[in-house]
Structure 1
Amino acid sequence: MNARDGSCGAVSLAGLRAVLQEDVGAAAPAARLRRLIDLGCGELPLPALGRTAERWRALAEVAAHDLSLAKLYEGHTDALAILCELRAPDGIAGSTRTSVWGTWAAEAPGQRVAIRPGADGGLRLHGQKAWCSGAEQASHGLLTAWHSGADVPQLVAVEMGHPGMRVDGEAWQAVGMAASASATVSFDGVPAAAVGEPGDYLHRPGFWQGGAGVAACWHGGATALGRALHAAVLRAPAEQRTPFRLAALGRVDLCLAGTAALLRDAAQWIDTHPQADARWVALRVRQAAEACAQTVLEEVGRALGATPFCRDAAFARMAADLPVFIRQSHAARDDAALGECLAGLEEPPWTI
């Protein structure tokens, strides 16, 4: 990938599926992410350059396989996109091919990372950053930090493993998404490099383009559960294809097909309007994907009963992970934010 021209090698879905289906035993998601990167699957088409749908299909494919892996994969690929968009210094951008990146921008109350000048004139980080998925295994991280008195964050890049850095995963108690290895990272004089100017991370077009891409991950997880219901109906003898299960499959189809259509439409809109504010587009697909995931969880669980939750490890893990992952949504606050966006339009975009 070239940080200046935004070029990126294509990842074939067939090739990605083949790597995902490899027998890696009990390998943790971080190790599997490393393998995806080593085999050339770590770079996706960049958003808003005509191939956004391809990017999201790859994210959904990984998510349908393993949501914890998808969380790390999305963070890595998002970091590469951000470095390109904000034209990161050559010393940072040049390390992307072999590095494992995390993107950590959540701001937990009372855990703001401060930027202070170092004795050599460079930047030094102090404080704590919560919700750092994959931090223990990442080689590099992109995170938001704050200059003294600033009202907007500064995005910085760090090299993991510095002596002034401590990674603590003890606070993460969730059963769902446990393998994403979310941690709190403490910084004590850790050197960092600025990526863009203060506020650039939030105000760039790619912020909401990337936010919409997360919905593709949620959709991939919901699709995996929907496929389990479809397979159960398909394998059942005709006399066991009960109206109850068929109705559940029909309702699952409606929400998954509808969300997939919204994601395709959103990808096309972003490619057509690469510099536009995609906030309303992202909020729409995120809220649709969250609602669809909730519906699929309910319908599939009711239709299949306890058996797959108890005897199918992949299904049970997906059913536990998905409710945690979709909580990245801000629920009713995002509904209100979408309504606010629409209230500023002369005509709502609802025509066929």
Structure 2
Amino acid sequence: MTAFEPGRLARVLAELDASEGPAQALAQLVRQGLDQLPLPAHGATWQRWQALSVVAEHDLSLVKLVEGHLDALAVQAEVAPWADRVGGATWGMWAAEAPGERTRFEPMEADEVRLHGRKAWCSGAAHVSHGLLTAWSAEGRGPQLVRVAMQQPGVTVSRAAWHAVGMAASESLDLHFDNAVAHLVGDEGAYLQRPGFWQGGAGIAACWYGGALQLANALRRHVAETAPAQRQPFRCAALGEVDMSLQCTAALLREAAQWIDDHPTQDASAVALRVRLAAECSATRVLDEAGRALGATPFCRDQRFARMAADLPVFLRQSHAQRDFAALGERVAAAGEAPWAL
């Protein structure tokens, strides 16, 4: 893995063809080797999160695909480091389970299996070359990770259920498998049991944070470009609240990344839940304060602001809201001592 170069990544993003979608942008980043980032818990988690934040500030639908691609690479490196890698591939990482539905697999020879059934919420499924997903045996054992090449007769992509406005370009579509060829990756249950499950989950916070930065910078530029004598106090106050919120979340992100690097095999669930909830709260506050301070103008006349304002609330719903607060509270109560002393 190479060291993250924020300047290079920002330049490549700025040069992307705006007429192309996020899937084409992901392929371009892969061709330039910009997906070769440090793995979580390998000493440079902060650099990995910086990259996610930079991409998110540019385009949330793109970072949705980039994060899935990077997660698929990290998962395979963790649970099946001996497996052959597919050079130049673009990956989707699909582990969501629709209520009452599971993708099933039947063993064939060696590590080959056949997939059947539906998989929902598959971001980028219409365009990526390969998918890494969770499936279940006919006897109900699992989850079991499998990798599948997307360009084959047994794989069908359906847009019938996708009616999104926010995050529309991420195309989180349904997949239907009918005897599709796939291969087992790692052991049964490895996806959830590995330390990287929560380490990777914490990285979503960097995506939410990056999306909030675009809106915060729109507010900052408006205030900075207004002559001091003409600045409205309520806009300055909004910028102050945004700064405070983002600075707090950035500090927590840095601390979480360092903790993960210092404790690579420990349970990172409390750390991940805390930083995700903080980023969600911060992003929500930035969206609210920037909108109230700037009024309707950027929502109607600034294409990038308007799209981010539509995308960010949808992406934030990857959080489980009060259920995540409850899960964090359970872990704090079980820790044995208060974690808040300076």
TM-score (norm 1): 0.95
Q: Does the CA-based 8 Å contact 2:112-2:184 persist in structure 1?
A: no
Amino acid across the alignment from 1:76 = H
- Superposed, 1:246-265 pairs within 5 Å as 246-265=236-255
Alpha-carbon contact 1:11-1:40 (below 8 Å) kept: no
Shift of the alpha carbon at 1:16? 0.3
What does residue 209 of structure 2 align with? 219
Q: 2:41 aligns with which of 29, 37, 48?
A: 48
Following superposition, the deviation at residue 88 of structure 1 comes to 4.6
* Shift in Å, 1:258: 0.7
Alignment of 1:1-352 (within 5 A): 8-91=1-84, 94-95=85-86, 97-118=87-108, 122-352=112-342
Deviation at 1:169, TM superposition (A): 1.8
Query: Which residue identity does 1:174 align to in structure 2?
Result: A
* Structure 1 outlier segments of 4+, above 6 Å: none
Q: CA RMSD in A?
A: 1.3
How much does 1:23 deviate?
A: 4.6
Q: How has the CA–CA distance of structure 1 residues 183 and 140 changed in structure 2, closer, same or farther, with 3 Å as cutoff? A: same
Note the alpha carbon deviations across 1:272-320, whole angstroms, 9 max, x for none: 0000000000000011111111111110000000010101101101000
Report the more deviating stretch, 21-30 or 199-208: 21-30
1:118 CA drift (Å):
3.4
Q: 2:221 and 2:118 mapped to 1: Cα distance?
A: 45
CA distance in 2, matches of 1:242, 1:286: 33
Question: TM-score scaled by structure 2?
Answer: 0.97
How big is each residue's C-alpha offset from its partner over 1:184-225, in whole Å with a ceiling of 9 and x where there is no partner?
000011111111111100010000000000110000001111
Identity rate, percent: 57
| C-alpha contact 1:53 1:267 (8 A) present in aligned 2 | yes
Q: 1:35 to 1:247 in 2, by over 3 A?
A: same
Per-residue deviation, residues 112-152 of structure 1 (Å, max 9, x unmatched): 10111237883111000000000111101000000123353
Extract unaligned runs of 5+ from structure 1: 1-7
Shift of 1:170: 2.5
CA separation of 1:191/1:89 partners in 2, compared to 1, >3 Å: closer, same or farther?
farther
Structure 2 unaligned residues grouped into runs of 5+: none
Distance 1:318 1:25 in 2: 15
**Mapped contact 2:135–2:142 kept (Cα < 8 A):** no
CA contact (8 A) 2:111 2:184 kept: no
Alignment length, in residue pairs? Answer: 342
The one-letter amino acid paired with 1:30 is A
